[in-house]
């Protein structure tokens, strides 16, 4: 296996990890007004992701950095072509992250309500936008022979990409509900369990149609296998939720989310950004890659740093593994 393939796989793994981990904390933010009936319950929801949400975002920063270093042409074309959606994600994340820190600064109910809205909107917008962007990568975008994006924002919005946005929104909300059922106690846990079941009735058909459409666009035997496994994992997770096996239910949506992203990357390989206009404009793992010397240095750095980062994040989740409930939240 050459280094270009190794780095394509590593970037795919980084984005997969990002969508799995950030997916459930986006889901918690999306469900904040639905599951938090008073201030203490909303604080329970926020505290379930409080110790980990910022660490989850590191996966995105690492993935973008790896793309910049290993595939500079891919990075330049993708980030310039999708400048507006990525800027929208960045603004949403800024407001969301500020809201986590500022919500508790004043006891005023209106103050907290405004920041709660920022958390909800700041979670929903990136979920939809990432779905649209990933769907565009699979579908292909208008590129010139010089690998420059020649479309506009409207060119990125068509039925398949909008379905991708809706699928990510529903999947993340379901993922977040199951995470809350796993991490909370009492009434919040009960409502999260019930809401996850109702959301699953929407998430399953959206995910199945999106994956089927993906296979229709990119015929790839490996992607077919991953699609079948993703659907099976989602069904198993929703079934486990019905019998209150919350750990298995969350595992199911974790695997389904990971396999959905893996299907997308597998479907386009060895391309990294297909062109829908000029075939010469298609970016591949070969023409978008950095030099062999650069990839070699990056590989040694990744081999040393990756296990350390994974071990630290695993330790963080282990430390904060306990359930929490309203009883753990002081009245003021």
pLDDT of residue 110: 87
pLDDT of residue 332: 64
Q: How many Cβ atoms from other residues are within 10 Å of residue 76's Cβ?
A: 17
Half-sphere exposure of 119 (CA within 13 A, CB side): 30
- Cβ-count burial 48-73 (b if 16+ within 10 Å, e if not): bbeebbebbbbbbebbbebbebbbeb
Contacts of 41 (CB under 8 A, 6+ apart): 35, 187, 188, 326
Which pairs from 223-229 meet CB under 8 Å and 24+ separation? 223/263, 223/266, 223/267, 226/259, 226/262, 226/263, 226/266, 227/259, 227/263, 229/255, 229/259
pLDDT of residue 16: 95
- For the chain, the domains span 3-322
pLDDT of residue 229: 96
pLDDT of residue 121: 95
CA–CA separation, 7 vs 150, rounded Å? 27
Burial (CB < 10 A; 0-12, 13-18, 19+), residue 311, is exposed
pLDDT of residue 192: 93
Answer whether 27's CB lies under 8 Å from 130's CB.
no
- Cβ-count burial 154-178 (b if 16+ within 10 Å, e if not): eebeeebbebbbbbbbbbbbbbbbb
Looking at the chain, how many residues does it have? Answer: 332
The pLDDT tens digits along the chain (332 residues) read 688 999 999 999 999 999 999 999 999 999 999 998 888 889 999 999 988 888 888 899 999 999 999 999 999 999 988 999 999 999 999 999 999 988 888 888 888 899 999 999 999 999 999 999 999 999 988 888 888 888 777 778 899 999 999 999 999 999 999 999 999 998 899 999 999 999 999 999 999 999 999 999 888 889 999 999 999 999 999 999 999 999 999 999 999 999 999 999 999 999 999 988 878 888 999 988 888 888 899 899 888 888 888 888 889 888 888 888 877 777 76
CA–CA separation, 268 vs 275, rounded Å? 11
Measured CA to CA in angstroms, residue 43 lies from 36, 51, 57, 116, 317 at distances of 8, 13, 21, 10, 19
């Amino acid at each position: 296996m050459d280094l270009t393939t190794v780095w394509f796989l590593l970037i795919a793994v980084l984005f997969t990890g990002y969508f799995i981990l950030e997916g459930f904390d986006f889901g918690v933010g999306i469900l904040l007004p639905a599951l938090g009936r008073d201030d203490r319950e909303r604080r329970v929801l926020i505290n379930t992701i409080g110790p980990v949400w910022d660490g989850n975002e590191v996966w995105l920063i690492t993935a973008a950095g790896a793309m910049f270093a290993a595939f500079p042409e891919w990075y330049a074309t993708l980030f310039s072509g999708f400048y507006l959606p990525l800027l929208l994600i960045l603004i949403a994340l800024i407001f969301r992250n500020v809201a986590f820190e500022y919500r508790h600064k004043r006891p005023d109910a209106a103050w907290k309500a405004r920041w709660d809205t920022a958390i909800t909107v700041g979670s929903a917008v990136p979920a939809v936008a990432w779905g649209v962007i990933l769907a565009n990568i699979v579908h292909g975008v208008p590129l010139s022979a010089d690998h420059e994006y020649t479309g506009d924002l409207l060119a990125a919005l068509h039925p398949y990409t909008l379905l991708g946005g809706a699928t990510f929104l529903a999947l993340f909300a379901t993922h977040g509900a199951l995470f809350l059922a796993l991490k909370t106690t009492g009434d919040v846990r009960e409502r999260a369990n019930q809401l996850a079941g109702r959301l699953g009735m929407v998430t399953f058909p959206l995910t199945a149609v999106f994956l089927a459409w993906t296979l229709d666009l990119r015929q790839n035997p490996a992607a077919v296998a991953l699609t079948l496994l993703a659907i099976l994992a989602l069904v198993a997770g929703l079934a486990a939720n019905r019998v209150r096996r919350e750990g298995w239910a969350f595992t199911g949506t974790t695997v389904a989310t990971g396999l959905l992203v893996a299907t997308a990357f597998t479907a386009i390989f060895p391309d990294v950004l297909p062109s829908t206009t000029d075939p010469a404009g298609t970016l591949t793992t070969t023409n978008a890659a950095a030099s062999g010397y650069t990839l070699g240095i990056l590989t040694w750095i990744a081999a040393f740093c990756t296990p350390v980062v994974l071990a630290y994040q695993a330790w963080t989740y282990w430390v904060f593994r306990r359930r929490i409930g309203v009883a753990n939240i002081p009245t003021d």
